[in-house]
Amino acid sequence: MQSPAAPPKPVRSPRQRALATVAALAEVYPAACALDHRNPLELLVATILSAQTTDQRVNLTTPRLFSRLRSAADYAAVDPAELEELIHATGFFHNKARSLIGMGRVLCERFGGDVPDTMEGLTQLPGVGRKTANVILGVAFDKPGFPVDTHVTRLSNRLGLVTTSDPVKIEAQVCAMVPPREWTGLSLRLILHGRQVCQARLPRCEACVLESFCPSSRLRPLRRRRSAAPAARGPRPSPRARPR
Ligand code: SF4
C-alpha cells in the first residue's frame, strides 16, 4: 500500500517564501530569458531594446536587425537614421539608437569589439545599468546576478522578502536567501510575473501561483473571513417562535 503524501511544508519566513517562489516560478516560466539571441552581443542589444516594451516585440524586431548588424564595429559605424528605422517598432528609438551606436563605439575602443564579462566593464557601456549588466552576466556568461528593476522591487516587497525600495539592499538581501545558481533566473521570472500577473495597479492574485504564501494577497482577508466565520458565528440560535 502506498504511504500517504507528506503534507506541504509551511512557508513562513522570508527565506522560505523566497525558495518557494524560486520553485513555483520556475514551473510557470521555464525559460527565464525570453529574448532571442545567439551570442552576448545580440543579448546585449536585445536587452537595451527591451526597455519600455515587450520581449515579444523585441523578438519581432531583432531578426532583421541582427542580419544587418553583426559586430560591435557594425553598430559603431551604422547610419543613425537606418538604425532608427530598424528598431522603430520597439519605441523610444532615438534614445535606443544613440545607446546602441555608443555601445558599439565603446566596445571597439575599450574592449576590442567583445562584450566584457564583468559588471565594471558592462556598466561603462551607454544604455547599460546594473540591471542590464546583471542580465548579461547571468544569461550570456553564466555569472549569477540579480537584476533589480521596478517589478523585482514591487514583488520582493509584496512577497515579504524585503521591506525596502533600495535596489542595492534588495539585491543583497534576496541573494542571501537563495543559492547563487538561482539568482538570475529568479530575477527574470519575477519580472515576467510582475508584467503578467502581479501588476502594479491591480495584482491578479486569483491567478497567481504564489498566492498561498504571499502576505500581500488580496484574497487573504477573504480567506480569513471564511475560515473564521463558523467559529465567530457560534452555534445556530434556535428558531424563535413567531409572534402570534
Ligand atoms: S498573490 Fe497577489 S500580491 Fe502576491 S505575488 Fe501574487 S499577484 Fe502579487
Give the pLDDT of the chain (244 residues) as one tens digit per residue.
Answer: 455 666 666 778 999 999 999 999 999 999 889 899 999 999 999 999 998 899 999 999 999 999 999 999 999 999 999 999 999 999 999 999 999 999 999 999 999 999 999 999 999 999 898 888 989 999 999 999 898 999 999 999 999 999 999 998 999 999 999 999 999 999 999 999 999 999 999 999 999 999 999 999 999 776 666 666 554 444 443 444 343 3
Supply the pLDDT for residue 145.
87
Q: How far is the CA of 155 from the centre of ligand 1 (A)?
A: 8
Phi-psi region of 6 (alpha: psi -120 to 50; beta: other; left: phi over 0): beta
For residue 111, give the C-alpha cell. 574592449
* CA atoms within 13 Å, Cβ hemisphere of 199: 8
Q: How far is the CA of 198 from the centre of ligand 1 (A)?
A: 5
| Owner of C-alpha cell 542590464 | 132
Task: Look up 166 and say whether it is catalytic.
Answer: no
Domains in the chain, please, with CATH? 14-32+146-196 (1.10.1670.10), 40-140 (1.10.340.30)
Q: Is residue 216 in contact with ligand 1, taking CB distance under 6 Å?
A: yes
Q: Is residue 76 in contact with ligand 1, taking CB distance under 6 Å?
A: no
Given 79, 114, 117, 131, which residue is catalytic? 131
How far apart are the C-alpha atoms of 61 and 152, rounded to whole Å? 26
155 CB contacts (<8 Å, ≥6 apart)?
190, 193, 194, 198
226 CB contacts (<8 Å, ≥6 apart)?
none
List the one residue out of 102, 120, 114 whose CA is nearest residue 140: 114
Q: Is residue 24 in contact with ligand 1, taking CB distance under 6 Å?
A: no
